[in-house]
Amino acid sequence: MSTKRQLGGAALWSGDGKPGLGLAAPFAAVAAACLAVILVPPYVSAWWVYTLAAAVLACVGGSFALSLREAERTWLDAVPAYLMFVFVALVHHAAGGAVGGSSSGLSAAVLLPILWLAITGTRRELGIASGLTVLVFVAPIVLVGPPAYGWGDWRRIVVWSAVALVLGPLVQRIVHDLDRQTRRARLANERVERLFDDAPHGVALLDAAGVILRVNTSLAVTVGLEPSEMVGHHLGSFETPGEHAIADHLERLMSDRVDMDAECRLRDSGGNDVAIALSSTVVPDPQVGDIVMVNVVDISDRRRYLDRLSHLADHDVLTGLANRRRFEVELERHLDRCRRHGPVGALLLLDLDNFKQVNDSLGHNAGDELLVTIAGLLRRSIRSTDVVARVGGDEFAIMLTDGDQAATQRVADQVVERIRDHAATLDGVRRRVSASVGAVTFAAATEHSADILALADMTMYDAKESGRNRVALLAEGDSRSPRSSMRLQWQARIEDALDNDRFVLHFQPIMDIATGRIDSAEVLLRLRGEDGEIVPPGRFVYIAERAGLMPRVDSWVLDRSIEMLAQLRELVPDFCLEVNISGASMGDASVEATILSALRRFDVDPKALILEITETSAVADVALAREFAERMAAMGCRFALDDFGAGFGSFYYLKHLIFDYVKIDGEFVAHVHRSSVDRTIVRSIVGIAKDLGKQTVAEFVSDPEIFDVVRAEGVDYAQGFMIGKPVPMDVFVEDFMLTPAGMVD
């Protein structure tokens, strides 16, 4: 490491341990003074002594100059000091020797080379100097002798030898210690300088007024400037215009004089705002006064991340609309406004009709794209002051912050119309997706003294009960509750039916076309009302699904079906039953436990139980459906895929799911005797099924012509009104198991 010390602007050391001109100058001045003293008359020695002294001094200077040209220390560096001993001897002699030197004191010039080597030389070189010191005083005694030099002047020899042997090493040790301390201080200072300049975050030193004294590269890069361009400016001048966070921060810092943190924004040279965190401290300095050290960290990425988290906390990830949490906050804020200033505005709840079928048939990506486009439609249908949110899978909410009942009706009608028109343009969605909207004004909610969300939810189901694709508006001034309070009543009826066995099972026969036998049937669920009315599943199943009751319903159906299957197999040992199972029940532990328990309890061969899964319920989670089918198949149960062909992914599901029977969707069977397209589709399904080792069942076989076609196309089983309508078990036994009824020629 190169070491330099400054003295009057000249370097004391020019290289690694090499003396410089700045150090040589005082020694040269003393040597020149010695030469000048002996050149002043009277002259006590011969002229050649003076000439030789000057020549030796010139050799000292020349050898020193030569040593400076070398990059590292060599033997030349000690030569000037050694020659100085010769110069000292000549000066001493020219001053009168021991006699004259005692009065002139020029013998003290021997201190020059000793000090020089003590400062710049090595221990070895200083040891040589000690020997030369003795030689300077002993050689004249031996070579010249008395009267100029006598052995009686031994005191001078002892003193200067002690100086060379004792004080010289001491001075050298002191000089080396000082040099090491200087080096360490310089290294520490350089390390601090590097840490300041190369710090990964911004650092600035300010005066008490906030003016930048020094700034590192990181902070300069943050604002897009050079460090020199920032020095001399107030740190606050780089802040985003209109903000005063830095000035306030520095004012509090100087007032309280404790470490402080703050966040603010800087404006870079490109006009962009950079979020930063400041951490500042006051460093007292007795020479220049208080210095403020400010650490600056770019937190733009963290700020963007926190903003993103905040956005996600309040917005739906898929559609970007407000989520339920945000919507409820906005709703509560509007309710406070209504309580203070009177009810105004309305709440609309929207549910997409048949969205699950689209999602399952076309795939989740298509379903997500549909939700995104509908979210865009809703945004464009309202004012900027209104709020639209996605509050569920396919449910949306709109809060109109202003407007009466007529305006609410217009907005709701517009929403239904736009969704219907948009869905009509999409492949595979037409005739399926529409919107059911429940609308309630805040005035109407006040009249009913009820929660507006609950009223809107019930009103929305009024729209569904009325046929879907429409608006149900709760009229102001009407004391009647929404009809969909009936939905809550239906939920209670379903729970009551489960608890009190008010469900009944009907059986629809399935014919083996090859033999004409009725050797299986499909179990169909019905609900018996208190007045004896038989309610079809279309009136209550979707409510059970929404209420999360389907696993309980399926467990009840499976338990009773397996019990009845045991009774039917006593009449026809190879008889089989097809039992529908909803998507919500696949993988449900209680449903699987019911199947296992009932099969064992009633001693039924698992092969006699055919679990029928509609395509749409199976594809809600293909992996879950497959795992469920694998577990049941391992027990011996068989599976039928219902409504095959109704969805676009039918063949995909046939490939990836375990099924023994493929039930051809009735849409392709009902007109197969008149439509060549339907007949071609049926033929294709049968061909693929046979190639895969599956058997086929044709639904909706309602007359002999249809039966003849499906038989001609190789369908294995027929089901429909021509074969038999769904009937209670006792009627089924009498009509299809105790008599040859249902046989088709």
Whether the ω angle into residue 147 lies within 30 degrees of 0, i.e. cis, is yes
Question: Which residue blocks in 649-703 are alpha helix, DSSP H?
Answer: 650-656, 666-669, 676-691
Quote the tokens at residue 654. Answer: 């046939």
Domain coordinates in residue numbering, the chain: 6-193, 199-304, 315-483, 491-736
Residues of the chain with pLDDT under 50: 1-11, 15, 101-104, 429-431, 484, 616, 618-620, 648-649, 741-745
Q: What's the confidence (pLDDT) of residue 428?
A: 53
Quote the tokens at residue 616. Answer: 């749409």
Quote the tokens at residue 276. Answer: 């930063």
Q: What's the confidence (pLDDT) of residue 58?
A: 83
Q: How far is CA 243 from CA 264, 266, 300, 478, in A?
A: 8, 9, 17, 55
**Tens digits of residue pLDDT in 572-583:** 999 999 999 887
Q: What's the confidence (pLDDT) of residue 300?
A: 79
Measured CA to CA, the distance from residue 359 to residue 436 in angstroms comes to: 17
Asked if the domains at 199-304 and 491-736 fall in one CATH topology, the answer is: no
Q: What are phi and psi of 294, to 5 degrees?
A: -120, 125
| 666: nearest Cα among 684, 680, 646 | 646
Domain 315-483 sits in CATH at 3.30.70.270
Q: pTM value?
A: 0.46
* Structural Rg of the chain based on CA atoms: 53
| 433: nearest Cα among 366, 352, 490, 506 | 352
Q: What's the confidence (pLDDT) of residue 82?
A: 79
Buried-state track 701-739, b at ≥16 Cβ within 10 A, e below 16: beeeebbebbbebebbbbbbebbbebbebeebbebbbee
603 Rama sector, left if φ>0, alpha if ψ -120 to 50, beta otherwise = left
Q: What's the confidence (pLDDT) of residue 486?
A: 57
Q: What's the confidence (pLDDT) of residue 637?
A: 93
Coil/strand/helix, residue 416: helix
Query: Of all helices (H) and strands (E), which one includes residue 340?
Result: helix 324-341
Q: What's the confidence (pLDDT) of residue 515?
A: 92
CATH class for the domain made up of 491-736: alpha beta
Pick among 3.20.20.70, 3.30.450.20, 3.40.50.10070, 3.30.70.3000: CATH of 199-304: 3.30.450.20
